[in-house]
Structure 1
């Protein structure tokens, strides 16, 4: 019987599939670390108080990338190039999710609108990251190799999501509510398409590596499409709601170290 646990266990047990999984994860986290670092360097004076939190966000993402690379090294594996059609962060940027890299490479300060857009985009993508890590935590928190990494990253992703909620509510109260609502909706609808497409590519890659049957591949593809239909019909709304989180000032301190991995 197919289940999230059995599928991921197959990926975990095979060196080639595990190598691809960790390489994709490490690449995405490293990209997020760079983006947050640049945003922190260019934050406008009106939002200067956000600077340390954005730095913390980027430091967490860098740490996650190091953790996934350390998991590879522990098994004597080297990272592989991420297939372009499985590069979640790059595909999101093409859809307008996240600030353009040309803007981040420049030395011009960002605008307050840019910061609103950054936080709204992050609120959507951090929802996905939090849910995925919660799923892994549910099934692999006690795994001897993966458990500590999963718990640490999951806790960080929950902090990132809480930070986005809190800061967007602050900006909404300051007069940006209509803009935030529009960007959240546009971002969520774009993200669910990208997530579907990347999931299909990822499963096809894993199927080739692990020798899955055509029937199994068809069943997994049908499941991915079913998730997209659910999200398109209304599931996307969970990505756009805002509520004051239980974890206030979740990124108010320095990033926690991960000496057991890095």
Structure 2
């Protein structure tokens, strides 16, 4: 029987698939760390009060990248190059979602509109990350090899999501509500398509590494496409609603260290 638990168990148990999984995760988190560090450095003067939180966000992402790399080293494995078709961050940028790396490499201050785009993009992608980590904690939170890492990353992702809700609501109260909703919708509709494409690509690579039969690959492909159809029909709306989080000022302090890694 196909299930998220059984699929992830297969991936963890095989060195080649585990190495690809951790390499993809580490690369994505490292990109997020760099992006947030650049945004913190380029914040407009009117929004400099966000700098500690954006910096903390980036530090958390860097930490997650180190955690995934440490999980590889713990098993005596080295990272592998990330196939471009599985690069979630790059594919979102190619669709015009978020702030481009070209813009972030400049030493020119960002605008308030840029920060609205950054927070909206983060609201959507952090929802995806939080959902995925919740699922992994449910199934593997007590796993002796990856459980501690998953729980720590999951808690951080909940903080990131709370931060996005709180800051976007603050901007909405300041009169940017319509622009925020428009940007959130654009980000969400692009994200669900990219997530579908990346999921198909990752499962294709895993299928070859794990020698899955054609019937299993077909079933997984149908499941991924079915999830996209659900999200396209209305499931995307969970990624754009805004509500005041229970965790207030979630990124108000320094990043929690990952001393075990």
Measured against the shorter chain, the TM-score band is over 0.9
CA–CA distance in 2 between the matches of 1:98 and 1:188? 11
Aligned partner of 1:130 in structure 2 is: 130
Provide the secondary structure at the position in 2 that maps to 1:97.
coil
The corresponding residue for 1:250 is: 250
Shift of 1:96: 1.4
Q: CA deviation at 1:97?
A: 1.6
Q: Distance in 1 between matches of 2:202 and 2:26?
A: 15
In 2: Cα distance, 1:12 partner to 1:2 partner: 16
* 1:169 equivalent in structure 2: 169
1:20 aligns with 2:34: no
1:40 alignment counterpart? 40
Could you tell me the TM-score, scaled by structure 2's length?
A: 1.00
| Stretch of structure 1 that moved more, 91-100 or 77-86 | 91-100
Q: Does 1:58 align with 2:47?
A: no
Question: Could you tell me which residue of structure 2 aligns to residue 228 of structure 1?
Answer: 228
5+ residue gaps, structure 1, are: none
CA distance in 2, matches of 1:117, 1:234: 22
Per-residue displacement from partner, 1:26-83 (whole Å, max 9, x unpaired)? Answer: 0000000000000000000111110000000000000000000000000000000000
Residue number in structure 1 paired with 2:240: 240
Task: Give 1:79's aligned residue.
Answer: 79
Q: Structure 2: give runs of 5+ residues left out of the alignment.
A: none
CA–CA distance in 1 between the matches of 2:112 and 2:236?
A: 26
SS at match of 1:248: coil
SS of the equivalent of 1:76 reads coil
**Structure 2 residue matching 1:80: 3-state secondary structure:** coil
Return the alpha-carbon distance in structure 1 between the equivalents of residues 177 and 96 of structure 2: 20
Take 2:120 and 2:46, find their aligned partners in 1: how far apart are those partners? Answer: 18
Q: How many residues align?
A: 261
Q: Could you give the per-residue CA deviations for residues 4-46 of structure 1, whole angstroms, max 9, x where no partner exists?
A: 0000000000000000000000000000000000000000011
What SS class does the counterpart of residue 143 from structure 2 fall into? coil
Distance (Å, rounded) in 2 between the aligned partners of 1:254 and 1:152 = 15
Q: 1:188: which partner in 2?
A: 188
Provide the TM-score with structure 1 as the length reference.
0.99
Query: What is the aligned partner in structure 2 of residue 150 from structure 1?
Result: 150
Q: What is the CA RMSD across the aligned residues, in angstroms? A: 0.4
Residues 92-122 of structure 1 deviation map (CA, whole Å, 9 limit, x = unaligned):
1111122011110001100000000000000
| Alignment partner of 1:49 is 2:36 | no
